[in-house]
């Protein structure tokens, strides 16, 4: 069983390298995405923004409109990161995972701990 897992991992890496060598841009998943500031930086550097996870519905809609203009924003709903299975995102392989979690001094949960 372990050998099969290693072979599958090796095949996945080989497919990734082949895809990138063919000129496809690296794919990014943005966590705690907001409206997409970090996604914008990666997009400007040639990465493809594959998707995002954002809890706030308005920010998630803004991200969808900013980076997936040809898609229905409803296809990119707000999601709770603690309840989201990566497979449910339907993105396929991603090469880079980025995230900008909220600063503790601004987060509601963190404020109570500061007192």
- Label residue 103 by pLDDT band (50, 70, 90): confident
Q: What is the pLDDT, as a whole number, of residue 110?
A: 55
Task: Quote the domain boundaries for residue 65.
Answer: 25-114
Average pLDDT, the chain: 87
103 is catalytic: yes
> Per-residue pLDDT tens for 36-74?
999 999 999 999 999 999 999 999 999 999 999 888 878
- For residue 42, the domain's CATH number is 3.40.50.150
Q: Is residue 36 assigned to a domain?
A: yes
Q: Say which of 5, 22, 83, 103 is annotated catalytic.
A: 103
Looking at residues 91-103, what average pLDDT do you find?
89
The pLDDT assigned to 83 comes to: 93
16, part of any domain:
no
DSSP the chain: -HHHHHHHHHHHHHHHHHHHHTTPPPEEEEES-TTSHHHHHHHHTT-EEEEEE-SSHHHHHHHHHHH-TTS-GGGS----GGG--GGGG-----SEEEE-PPPTTTSHHHHHHH-
């Amino acid at each position: 069983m372990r050998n099969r897992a290693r072979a599958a991992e090796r095949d996945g890496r080989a497919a990734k390298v082949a895809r990138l060598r063919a000129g496809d841009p690296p794919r990014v998943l943005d966590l705690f995405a907001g409206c997409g500031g970090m996604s914008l930086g990666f997009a400007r550097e040639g990465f493809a923004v594959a998707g995002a996870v954002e809890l706030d519905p308005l920010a998630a809609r803004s991200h969808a409109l900013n980076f997936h203009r040809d898609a229905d924003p409803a296809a990119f709903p707000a999601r709770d990161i603690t309840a989201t299975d990566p497979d449910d995102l339907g993105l396929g392989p991603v090469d880079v995972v980025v995230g900008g979690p909220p600063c503790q001094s601004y987060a509601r949960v963190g404020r109570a701990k500061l007192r």
